[in-house]
Amino acid sequence: MRPDEIREFDVKALEEKVRDLSISLFNMRLQGRASKGPSRASDIVKTRKDIARIKTIIAEKTSQSKKTSIDVTEG
């Protein structure tokens, strides 16, 4: 996923996406260990990077909302 696509979602949907990708990553790793499928290393790397991207954007959104609430209470 591209970062601009990820930013369109709200935090709750992004957390759900991270959960789904984590489960998918776990299954890919299991398949690779058991040699039960074409679990390619590139798919695992791509999934890990997607999870990192989403977590970064979640952190941006939460820090941005905290800044906004601080500005409103101070101002």
Domain extent at residue 22: 3-74
**Phi and psi, residue 26, nearest 5°:** -60, -45
The residue ranking higher by pLDDT, 62 or 75, is 62
Q: Say which CATH number the domain at 46 has.
A: 1.10.287
Q: Say how far apart CA 3 and CA 62 lie, in whole Å.
A: 16
The residues, ordered by sequence, that sit 6+ positions from 21 with a Cβ below 8 Å of its Cβ are 47, 50, 51, 54
Total tally of structural domains belonging to the chain: 1
Q: Say how far apart CA 9 and CA 28 lie, in whole Å.
A: 25
Report pTM: 0.80
Question: What would the pLDDT profile of 8-61 be if each residue is shown by its tens digit?
Answer: 999 999 999 999 999 999 999 988 888 766 668 899 999 999 999 999 999 999
Crossing angle, helix 41-74 and helix 11-34, to 10 degrees? 160
